Amino acid sequence: MNITTGKATKEVAWWEGCEILGGRDEVGGGTWLACSRKGRVAFLTNVLELHTLPEAKSRGDLPVLFLESTKSPKEFAEELVEEAHHYNGFNLIVADISSKKMVYVSNRPKGQAVTIQEVSLGIHVLSNAKLDSPWPKAQRLGQKFKELLCQYSEGEIPLKIMAEKLMRDRVKAEVSRLPGICSIDWEFNLSSIFVEVDTPLGCYGTRSTAALTVTTNGEVSFHERYLEKEKWKEHTVNYHIQKLK
C-alpha cells in the first residue's frame, strides 16, 4: 500500500499504550493501514472527489475504531452506516484474520446507500474509487502482482521485493483513460502508482510504501519504506498473532 499525502506522517511502529501496529498521521492522529496483535487489520483510502467538507470527521480514525473494537468486520461495518455521512469520501477495508472475514465499506457515491461488501477470496485492488474499479493504475498494479505471483510460483515473495517492484511504479495513465473528476493535470499527476508532484505549497506525493503479509500459522510481517527528512528509510516489524481464548 502507498500512502500519498502532503502532510507529515510517522513510520510504522507499535502505538504507545495499545496493541496497534501501523503508521500515523501526525496531524489527525489516525492511520491509513494498521493491524493488531489479535489478528485484526484495517486500511483506508480517500475517494477522489472535487469538493470535500473541511468540518468532516477525520477518516483516519476509522481503522483505529475497528482495531480497538471487538466487533466482527460485518458488525462494525453495519454500525458505521449511521455515522458514515459525517466523513468525506472513504473506502475502508476491515478484516479479522482469525475468522477469515474481510469487509469493504464505502460512503460514496454521495446520496446513495453505504456500500457494505464481503471481500471474496482472490486478488483485489483498492485505489481512490470503488474496490476493483478499473482505473489504469489499479489495473496495472493487479496485473503486475499476478506476474509476481507467477514468477515466485509456490515460493514466498520477499516483502522488500514486493514493495519495490509493485509500488515504486511511476508510469502515468493515458489522458483519455482518466476518470474526469478533477482537473486533467492533477489527475494525470495522480495516475501513477507512485506519486511525486511539485505544487506551489511544496512536494505532494508518496511518503510511505508498505507490504503486510500473514502466514497460515499467524506470523505477521509488516515492511515499510518511508520518507523521513527527505531520505528514504526502511524497516520490517515481525510478530505472531495472539490466539483468542
CATH topology of domain 2-240: Penicillin V Acylase; Chain A (3.60.60)
For the segment 176-192, what is each residue's pLDDT rounded down to a tens digit?
A: 999 999 999 999 999 99
At 64, give phi and psi (nearest 5°). -65, -45
pTM: 0.94
For the segment 85-137, what is each residue's pLDDT rounded down to a tens digit?
A: 999 999 999 999 999 999 999 999 999 999 999 999 999 999 999 999 999 99
Site of grid cell 475517494:
47
The grid coordinates of residue 53 equal: 467538507
Task: Please check whether residue 105 is in contact with residue 85, taking contact to mean a CB–CB distance below 8 angstroms.
Answer: no
Residue ranges of domains in the chain: 2-240
